[in-house]
Amino acid sequence: MHKRIISKNKRSTDTESVLTSEIGCIVLDNVEFWDTESYIDLDNYEIDFSPYIVKIKYFNQENPFDTNYYKPLSNGFDLVEDSSEKYKKTREVVERKGQSSFRAKISKAYSGACCITGEQTPELVEAAHIQPYLNKNSNHVQNGLLLRVDFHKLYDNGLLYINQDYKIEISPLINGDYYKTFHGKTINLPKLKADYPSKEALISRKFEFRNE
């Protein structure tokens, strides 16, 4: 490794300093992978990230990649206008732009735990849209719930409803006793009130609930 450094630094005659110098590395902490269209231009946040990394380099600015810092343009979630005639109860799977960053925001808001069961196994919990996905504006933290995969399917198929009081309603079409035990219970809400599910969005799902 030292020979490679010396060969690349041909202008330097101080071979001794190269041989005794320390070789460092960069450790990335709390990494979030964003879709290309969600990338942020560092220049807009006045972050001077030098292409030459030196030892003990600190950045004291607020982290714009922290979801608590990167605020949406509006204070709350506004229902996205539907361009079609009506929402379809059975929707084709579509490409959801920004899905990875949406999942990261929802997972952080709910501390990685299903808001109904408390399940924390990453492979078993999913970020669910309350108002069905229409465009990137749908990916607002207040339009999301963290649900275990089976409860996510129940929610998307109208067999589970969460009302404006954050209480769970289970469809009478479900025969199993296990799911019925959750009827009337209150979901676990995010720590931050600003991340609470939009009541307007929750109510918008009422017509999809198969109550009879």
Query: pLDDT per residue over 10-64, tens digit each?
Result: 555 555 665 666 666 666 666 666 666 666 666 665 666 565 555 555 555 555 5
pLDDT tens-digit map of 84-110:
554 444 444 444 567 888 999 999 999
Mean pLDDT of 124-132: 96
Gyration radius (Cα) of the chain, Å: 24
Q: How far apart are CA 209 and CA 162, in angstroms?
A: 10
β-strand pairing of 160-162 with 144-148:
unpaired
The residue with greater pLDDT, 137 or 182, is 182
Dihedral sign for Cα 95, 100, 105, 107, please.
Answer: positive
Lowest mean pLDDT among 32-36, 55-59, 70-74, 158-162: 70-74
Contacts of 131 (CB under 8 A, 6+ apart): 79, 80, 138, 143, 201, 204, 205
Q: What is the DSSP letter of 154?
A: H
Tell me the domain boundaries of the chain: 1-85+97-212
Task: For the chain, give the percent of residues with pLDDT over 70.
Answer: 57
Q: Is 71 helix (H, G, I), strand (E, B) or coil?
A: coil
* pTM for the predicted model, two decimal places: 0.60
Q: Which two tokens stand for residue 58?
A: 């600190």
Which of 187, 143, 128 lies closest to 162 in space, CA to CA? 187
Q: Count Cβ atoms within 10 A of the Cβ of residue 173 and give its class: 0-12 exposed, 13-18 middle, 19 or more buried.
A: exposed
Helices and strands per DSSP (H, E), number in the chain: 6, 4
The residues, any chain, with a CB within 8 Å of residue 53's CB and separated by 6 or more, are 24, 26
Task: Report how far residue 30's alpha carbon sits from residue 39's, in angstroms, rounded to the nearest whole number.
Answer: 16
